[in-house]
Structure 1
Amino acid sequence: MRRILAGMLAIIALSSHADEYRFEDYPATESSSRVVEQLRLPESESGSVFEMFLQRAVGSSPNFAGKYVLTYWGCGTSCQQVAAIDVDSGDVFYPGEGAASNGVCYQLDSALLIVNPIDKEGAEQIPDWFHTYFYEMTDQGFRLLGKTREGLSFDCGAP
């Protein structure tokens, strides 16, 4: 009986992390040693505050998904604007609405972006509207993988 109970508990423990996204599960498919030389912004953003902040990334090497520069800047209390710039084309991509409330986690060798990371202990105290979002970087931009109100079971090492 104890073995059956132990086995059931192990299955439950493993399945509780089945929907969790990990950097190693989304390896970068390309890499580049180039730097951002120019920005290709939609006409509506030309001359905007966004352009001013994005220009700061010109000359930067990839730090995300092999060939992107992930950059972010403050946009008010508990607000960061997030963008990824393709170093080869200068195209700019935004995850979801482009804003975060609790920072981001990312890696050079992974296409996974975690927006609003929070650990399991802190998850009990978050407001109802708060979610951690998981995106995969593709050549067409960010693809939403999922979201959760539960905290992460690992330290994602927010830069």
Structure 2
Amino acid sequence: MDDKFTPDAGPERSHPFLEELTAAGVPTHMHDWLRGHGIGRLAAKMGIVFQEMSAERMVATMPVEGNQQVAGILHGGAHLVLAETLGSFAAGIHAGPDRQAVGIEIGATHHRSASAGLVTGTAVAIHLGRTLATHEVVMTDEEGKRLSTARITNLIRDVRQPNG
């Protein structure tokens, strides 16, 4: 059986998302962690590119172009996609290899709009506990002006092993 989810399914499948991970700026030491699923189809489609990746601080950019609402400004949902991507990845790193982070709450306040350029999201840990991780995520424009502020909380739980 040939699939992209089975680890070590042949040399061409050892990292089925290698191009995606590289294009998204994911450091090579984190490729094994993401080898089976990449950065996620939505994050890739939105053009999210990581600059820094740790449990305490996660930074990425996202283009406004292609992520606008009908009025020509960055869609509010795009702000939340960036915030959830950053907070969830940071919580996942904190959780470690035998645990997983699952988002349980996210909220945002939009302060100003952006109609062009790149948006930068910076997630900073507020709480990194055994069962919960909370991050504040600030989105800024290319001039450093705050566009939105989000907060995301992830539940950290053990990875369920398949039966058998």
TM over 0.5: no
- Greater fraction of residues in helix: 2
The normalised TM-score by structure 1 is: 0.31
- Greater fraction of residues in strand: 2
